[in-house]
Structure 1
Amino acid sequence: MNNIIHLTANIKTIEKYLDSQSWLKTDEKVTAIEVPGDGNMNFTLRVKTNKRSFIIKQSREYVEKYPQVEAPIERALGEAKFYEFISHYSSLKNQMPNLLGVDNQNYVLYLEDLGNGTDYTFLYEKGRVLKDEELSKIITFAADLHSDLTRQKTEITLPNCQMRELNHKHIFIYPYLKENGLDLDAILPGLQGIAEPYKTNERLKGNIEKLGKRYLQDGNSLLHGDYFPGSWLKSKNGIKIIDPEFCFFGEPEFEIGVTIAHLKMANQPEEIITKAIRFYKERAPLNEELQQQFTAVEIFRRILGLAQLPLTIALEKRKNLLAESFEVLITMENEINHSVVYR
């Protein structure tokens, strides 16, 4: 770890680093650097030169937004493999930034700059509704990804085990710990009291544990792994998909379950939820019962866990979402098959 260059937001050191990687063109000079968005996981900069702009992204041994949280330093290399996979599928490639280079030693990605876009976390604001054409593009990307990149079509694997284990902890374990160091009342007064009964319900936690084991299994389809509004970018060239660092071969129901959970927490109309499922099923198969279970556990994770969202829904709405999710999970009857899940 001592030999790794930790990049900083300093023009001179950034220019020196880029030059050492041969990522600058002849007579190209760095003129400005800026943070391109509110990323959580990585150190990310937009680099402006006298000729162009581009993005550099470095993964550290911790989460950039939460330095106290350890994270696999190699995650940038997993993301690079995802870009390599989709590079052979124009419909997918055209909806993501181009990977221009990889520094394997320092875990840095050199990426196309998609411009001054904004991610779709604005959906959590009151009154913001996803348009049909936007929803269609978002769901179509996921369906095509899951259908085009399967274990039958490639011998390459992408287990990304350490990132999955990190995600597993925060989705399936951390929110249900009685003492996890998170003061939910500081997020929204009254939330801590609502959380307590769920933390002590052993049947609920047992079913969530089963889902967690299923998440950790390898599946048939390549997943983005973190498919929510923060990974959808509204750019001048349309919707782009970013940050696939949690990617792995798994079950599409996890991916779509997460997406539906966020549409619910963004208080999208029920017709949007229905259309999202319909758009997906028109292009790919979906086990809706399993999808609903993953939707439920993602709602629990985001309302009661560390990775909080800029939600504007009131306490009562959160309470209702948790109650609905509880009903889905408490009545879960499917036994988990601990063998590899293929289709």
Structure 2
Amino acid sequence: MFILDANDTASMESYLLEQGWLSNEERISQVSVPGEGNMNYVLRIVTRKRSFIVKQSRGYVEKYPHLSAPADRVLMEGAFYQTTNVDPFIARFTPDLIGIDQANNIIALEDLGMASDFLFLYNSSIKLDTAQLTRLTDFLGSLHNNFYRQATQESFKNSAMKSLNHEHIFRYPFMEENGFDLDLIQPGLQAVATDYKNDKELKNQIEGIGEIYLSEGSYLLHGDFYPGSWLDTAQGVKIIDPEFCFYGPREFDLGVMMAHLYLSRQQDQHIQLVLDTYHSNAKLDIQLLHQFTGIEILRRIIGIAQLPLSLPISQKQELLKFAKTLIL
């Protein structure tokens, strides 16, 4: 298996020529890391003519090598782009797909230029503006409505990634002993989390919602629609990293988005704007939407997938109580 390595330009150049992703007259002038990634190994390739992105998935989470993950997950991301680029509106939000190498779990993508994700929202007074929020909501609505299917395509079941996500959203954060000391994140957080880990009614409800997540649905979802998957570029808001995509309940994508608006302390009227502007061909299950929102808030505060939250314990307690109310 060919392994991408930023320090081995010669081997990478030969590989890219073999794939047809470099022309014969092109040579690599620079290789860099375009940002801090979580799941995959990502590089920016620069030649005298252009730049583009190459991305490889391996059998573990790139940021947390001790956590195993499906090695072929980047192929699902490629399939998402291949499927959705027939919709001009969706295609404007996502990078163009240059190529897929299934044997080595590598894809090549358009370089969206110097951009930043929206993780700064958790630790900043800067808020999403109405135009950005509307575009993000319009993307979700168009994705869900325009890629609706009565029966799930076999290629989009994405069972291994769903299982991984299910473990980290619906089970791991609520285990009484999971080996993750939350006091290393923030002193006192472990004691706060104990109340939720010991709440049988809450955990039973979460288990049931987890089964809904695992079941097959009719709507193509991004699967991880949070500020780390949103890019602020010179061309406007873009969406990346759909490797968790699957056909499921629309309320999951929308609930995750809503949860992160709460976690990043967005204005109440902006949160309401999402519900007001989300266009759907069928009525949303508002209770299920609230439950997915609450679970995402809980798992981001007491689970392993931590965010750069600069909140005192008291505010985290408020969010946790709010999340529990949404679920129950």
What is the deviation of 1:41? 0.2
Deviations 1:194-244 (A, max 9, x none): 000111111111111001110001111000000000111001111111010
Which residues of 2 match residues 1-343 of structure 1 at below 5 A?
4-10=1-7, 11-152=9-150, 157-281=155-279, 285-329=283-327, 331=328
User: Are the equivalent residues in 1 in contact too, given 2:152–2:218 (CA < 8 A)?
Assistant: no
What is the deviation of 1:126? 2.9
Letter paired with 2:313: L
What is the deviation of 1:20? 2.1
Deviations 1:52-101 (A, max 9, x none): 10000000000000000000011111111111110110000111000010
Report the TM-score, using the length of structure 1 for normalisation.
0.92
Alpha-carbon distance between aligned partners in 2 of 1:129 and 1:135, rounded to the nearest angstrom:
10
User: Are the equivalent residues in 1 in contact too, given 2:152–2:217 (CA < 8 A)?
Assistant: no
User: Structure 1 stretches (4+) deviating beyond 4 angstroms?
Assistant: 152-157, 281-284
Alpha-carbon distance between aligned partners in 2 of 1:250 and 1:282, rounded to the nearest angstrom:
15
Alpha-carbon distance between aligned partners in 2 of 1:252 and 1:303, rounded to the nearest angstrom:
23
Over the residues paired in the alignment, what is the CA RMSD in angstroms? 1.4
Tell me, what secondary structure is at the counterpart of 2:29?
strand
What is the deviation of 1:282? 6.7
User: Are the equivalent residues in 2 in contact too, given 1:140–1:283 (CA < 8 A)?
Assistant: no
**Structure 2 partner of 1:336:** none
Alpha-carbon distance between aligned partners in 1 of 2:193 and 2:2, rounded to the nearest angstrom:
42
**Greater mean deviation of Cα atoms: 227-236 or 308-317:** 308-317
Distance 1:54 1:147, change over 3 A: same
**Where does structure 2 lack aligned partners over 5 or more consecutive residues?**
none
User: Are the equivalent residues in 2 in contact too, given 1:265–1:313 (CA < 8 A)?
Assistant: no
**Where does structure 1 lack aligned partners over 5 or more consecutive residues?**
332-343
Alpha-carbon distance between aligned partners in 1 of 2:281 and 2:135, rounded to the nearest angstrom:
12
Alpha-carbon distance between aligned partners in 1 of 2:77 and 2:136, rounded to the nearest angstrom:
19
> Percent same amino acid among aligned pairs?
45
Tell me, what secondary structure is at the counterpart of 1:30?
coil
Aligned length: 327
Alpha-carbon distance between aligned partners in 2 of 1:155 and 1:7, rounded to the nearest angstrom:
31
Report the TM-score, using the length of structure 2 for normalisation.
0.97
